Structure 1
């Protein structure tokens, strides 16, 4: 999660989810962004209902679960998802709907990956309150650092509400190994996050931008690319470091 657009949230969500599934993990992906980019990136029609029914009507997650790939299930966003931002009734419970839906799900998964909207609205709060750990993508520019600072303020509020710390990891995206700015941003992240900054960095790779238009992950579109290599490494690092 990150409140800045263009840092690779959906790219990371879809390709990490598929990488984990290819590594024999059982994965559930939830599209919590009304733009439905995770849904379409997996080749599913953006109009397919899913999280809108779960969060607005209290429908069980399993009723809207689709098999997106071997080992990877998806609950699409649904066109009505944006309407949750306009809910005026329910008080604090409005932010706990996703958590309640996951608690009620009797299916067992090794990982549940939630693709979040680039905002800290009610959908974002639902994701934060339901999370056991955060993966924060940060692109290699100073605007991303500024956005990250604002997000950490939001996270502090959530932790106060939950009365517990929320573990987080940071992954650098759109990384240019030869650019001084990218190296400077990484140094700043190391200084602030220390061992919570993952060793794996996702390099800039045009194939990562192209594959969603075909409804394919990077492993289907260009399996020999830097993007595929990096997301395989990220999945391995997440699993071996017991991220969940």
Structure 2
């Protein structure tokens, strides 16, 4: 676990992580296959204030591990065309998955890539706010060129452009998360989770499914392409570190 900024540590992954979900990856044969992350985080929790889990855009054992371990879900929603429908489906999907593992998960909506000068973005942001009144971040993450520049330099916006409007957006988001209590979304409870699952999940083939340690079975979303691509890009680009590793218990499959 690397210290990438003051007070911030990162546990990076590689493309090999996706292989754990395969039949021969080792994870599927474990009795606690969807609780491994939860148990590890319980061990290291005294060392940290908060943990953010970046999930792949697939429904598999990695996502189930994240749902088991998380107290709430952050749903980034671009304030563009089809955004409201996309947000509704994501909240429904999270609700369906949370039901599968026998728990309710609080949801927060985070508007992103918001264009201040766009009437369409303004109207869509308003519609999302009316739909998810109690769950939407009060300040959207606006489009800023400095965000792209920070990524190109392998830095966070906090380090690259402290005090910038982009930094202010993320500071406001962090303060909202820390200072307010997330609640279970009424929207996710109101939908037919079975129908939502049928509409969103796509099985790769017969028998291609995920079974939790409680015996629940759920189809898997097709493909690992984008998740693998993002992981590979992270591995290649790397990140600036202080060169110090946190002495914490090792995670094992």
Gap regions ≥5 residues in structure 2: 184-253
How far is 1:71 from its partner? 0.9
Q: Is 1:66–2:5 an aligned residue pair?
A: no
In structure 2, the partner of 1:175 is: 114
Q: Distance in 2 between matches of 1:123 and 1:213?
A: 28
**Is the Cα contact below 8 Å between 1:207 and 1:227 reproduced in 2?**
yes
How far is 1:227 from its partner? 0.8
Name whichever structure is richer in helix by fraction.
1
Deviations 1:169-226 (A, max 9, x none): 1111111122122122222212221111110111110111221221211122122322
In structure 1, the partner of 2:21 is: 85
- Aligned residue runs from structure 1 range 96-107, under 5 A: 96-105=35-44, 107=46
**Is the Cα contact below 8 Å between 1:120 and 1:154 reproduced in 2?**
no
**Is the Cα contact below 8 Å between 2:79 and 2:121 reproduced in 1?**
yes
Q: 1:238 aligns with which of 177, 186, 205?
A: 177
When Rg is computed on C-alpha atoms for both structures, the one with the higher figure is 2
Q: 2:130 aligns with which of 185, 191, 203?
A: 191
CA pair 160-91 structure 1, distance change in 2 beyond 3 A: farther
Bigger relative CO (Cα 8 Å, ≥ 6 apart): 2
Q: Distance in 1 between matches of 2:176 and 2:16?
A: 36
Corresponding residue pairs, total: 180
In structure 1, the partner of 2:58 is: 119
How high is the TM-score relative to the length of structure 2? 0.64
SS for the counterpart of 1:190 is helix
In structure 1, the partner of 2:164 is: 225
- Aligned residue runs from structure 1 range 149-160, under 5 A: 149-160=88-99
How far is 1:91 from its partner? 7.1
RMSD (CA atoms): 2.3
Name whichever structure is richer in strand by fraction.
1
CA pair 140-93 structure 1, distance change in 2 beyond 3 A: same
CA pair 96-232 structure 1, distance change in 2 beyond 3 A: same
List structure 1 runs of 4+ shifted beyond 6 angstroms: none
CA pair 78-242 structure 1, distance change in 2 beyond 3 A: same
How high is the TM-score relative to the length of structure 1? 0.66
Q: Distance in 2 between matches of 1:87 and 1:94?
A: 12
- Aligned residue runs from structure 1 range 115-154, under 5 A: 115-154=54-93
